[in-house]
Amino acid sequence: MSDKQIVNIYLMRHGVTMLNTSNSVQGWADSPLTPDGERASEYAGIGLKDIAFDAIYSSDSGRAMQTAQHVMSENTSTVNWSLTTEKGLRELCFGTFEGRSNEELWEVLLAEANHDEINEMDMPTFVDAMSYHETQLRPPHANTWPSESYSMFTKRLSNSFFKIGYKAVENQHQNILVVSHGLSIQATLETLTDVPADFNNMAVNNSITHLTFDGTQFHLNRYNDVSYIERGRSLFE
């Protein structure tokens, strides 16, 4: 392990969006950051300003790209940075549930699983139940992307992170910023580090999950770290 290059991956959840504030299903559907979401992204950027990033990635969703741009606008240690978008980092696709209320989605899934609370379901059960019901309830004329199963979801996330990791090792990069999404972060950890996904402990907006990659495996160092936001806010004020 000691001779292996270690890549630090700062995995951030995007800032708060308009659909977040209306408690709406937001997977491949997108909405812009709120003013508070923009401000918190800048605070996180100030908190991370002393880290020189060798590469910056986000999903190709506008909210993730917008977050990365706000974060990096405050970074004083990275010269001539550019943002690379990676489609595989997207949030789960909810199909025809996209944009509808979370309560409507939860009502369907809780009835099927015979649970009282959505947090009682593990992530594979939740995702596959959603995908099954979305397929069954999908109108014949629905002109949208179909929902994803858990295996589809985790496969594309895993492929994207290994692609990013291998490229970092090849280019001898040390620090990487990746902006992703709430369920995507949970599924990534469960897939790459065997840390079980936990609906009761979702990463908050703009938090950092610190992973390392040694060229073979990913390791979790810290999860849901908000100290960078708090540090940035204190420096700003």
Residue 225 DSSP SS3: strand
Q: Read off the pLDDT of residues 189-235 as tens digits, 9 standing for 90 and up.
A: 999 998 998 888 999 999 999 999 999 999 999 999 999 999 999 99
Block residue for tokens 């951030």: 12
Half-sphere exposure of 158 (CA within 13 A, CB side): 14
* pLDDT of 38 above 50: yes
* pLDDT of 116 above 90: no
For 2, residues 6+ apart whose C-beta sits below 8 A from its C-beta are none
Distance CA(6)–CA(117), nearest Å, equals 40
Distance CA(187)–CA(189), nearest Å, equals 5
Write the burial class of residue 195 (CB in 10 Å: 0-12 exposed, 13-18 middle, 19+ buried).
Answer: middle
Q: What's the mean per-residue pLDDT of the chain?
A: 94
* pLDDT of 61 above 50: yes
Distance CA(157)–CA(92), nearest Å, equals 10
Half-sphere exposure of 95 (CA within 13 A, CB side): 23
Q: For residues 87-107, give the mean pLDDT.
A: 95
Closest CA to 88 of 180, 26, 195: 180
Please count the other Cβ atoms lying within 10 Å of the Cβ belonging to residue 131.
23
Percent of the chain predicted with pLDDT > 70: 98
How far is residue 134 from each of residues 98, 123, 188, measured CA to CA in Å? 10, 16, 23
- Output the pLDDT for position 1: 41
DSSP for 17-66, please give it: BHHHHTTB--SSS--PBPHHHHHHHHHHHHHTTT---SEEEE-SSHHHHH
Distance CA(212)–CA(234), nearest Å, equals 28
> Cα dihedral sign for 80, 180, 159, 173?
positive
Query: In the sheet where 7-13 sits, what is the strand order?
Result: 83-85, 55-58, 175-180, 7-13, 208-213, 218-225
Is residue 118 a contact partner of residue 48, using CB atoms and an 8 Å limit? no
Distance CA(203)–CA(127), nearest Å, equals 18
114/188: higher pLDDT: 188
